[in-house]
Amino acid sequence: MATGSLSSVPKRLRMVEDFSCTRCSEQNLTESADIYCEKCLRFYCKKCVILHSQFFTIHMTCGREDIKKWPVSKAVEDFLRKCEVHEDETLTKFCHFHSQLCCSSCVGTIHSQCSKVTPINELTNTQRTYLQGLLVELETVLGEIKNLQRPALSHCREHTRNMGHS
């Protein structure tokens, strides 16, 4: 099995594993996080977690051994939003022909011949509108069901009363 230092791995790939201490970052310090607090939704280095633990004794924290419980770090989120071809560009469009996210530079080069390239925010607006339409349909159907139930319930109550009087 090959071993190597992190310095041999490109910084762009290392970002996926990097988590910074939230408290240190707020003070413009760079310190790797060792603990994540699910209650505070913050990352802590070994030094800062001591103070956190003194103030918040009942908070549940997760160490690096439970990293699967940690949320996506800001560095990873930024990494996922960046174009692989144009690293300084953010992914803002979706090419329907290639089923691929792309940046505005890619639209002008790689996807210039593609017939349908949509801004990502329009896709989410369309989805929201579609879901709102489904919600209206469901509410209408529920209303119709309730309208059908009322006479049936009245009929059952009347039938039960009539049976009690016989």
Percentage of the residues of the chain whose pLDDT score is greater than 90? 34
Query: For position 152, what pLDDT does the model report?
Result: 67
3-class SS letters over 53-67:
HHHCCCCCEEEHHHH
Q: Residue 18 above 90 pLDDT?
A: no
User: 71 pLDDT band (50/70/90 cuts)?
Assistant: confident
Global confidence as pTM: 0.44
Question: At which residue do the structure tokens 């160490």 appear?
Answer: 63
Query: For position 5, what pLDDT does the model report?
Result: 39
Domain-by-domain residue ranges, the chain? Answer: 9-81, 88-166
- Per the CB < 8 A criterion, the answer to whether 114 and 98 are in contact is yes
Q: Tell me the average pLDDT across 60-65.
A: 89
String of DSSP letters for the chain? -----GGGS-HHHHGGG--B-HHHHHTT---B--EEETTTTEEE-HHHHHHHHHH-TT--EEEGGGGGGSPPPHHHHHHHHB-SSSTTSB--EEETTTTEEE-HHHHHTTTTT-S-EEEHHHHHHHHHHHHHHHHHHHHHHHHHHHHHHHHHHHHHHHHHHHHHH-
Query: Per-residue pLDDT tens for 132-164?
Result: 777 777 778 777 777 776 776 677 777 777 776
The sheet with strand 61-63 has its strands ordered as 42-44, 35-37, 61-63
Rounded CA separation 18/32 (Å): 7
Query: For position 128, what pLDDT does the model report?
Result: 67
Rounded CA separation 105/9 (Å): 27
Q: Which residues contact 100 (CB under 8 A, 6 or more apart)?
A: 94
User: 103 pLDDT band (50/70/90 cuts)?
Assistant: very high
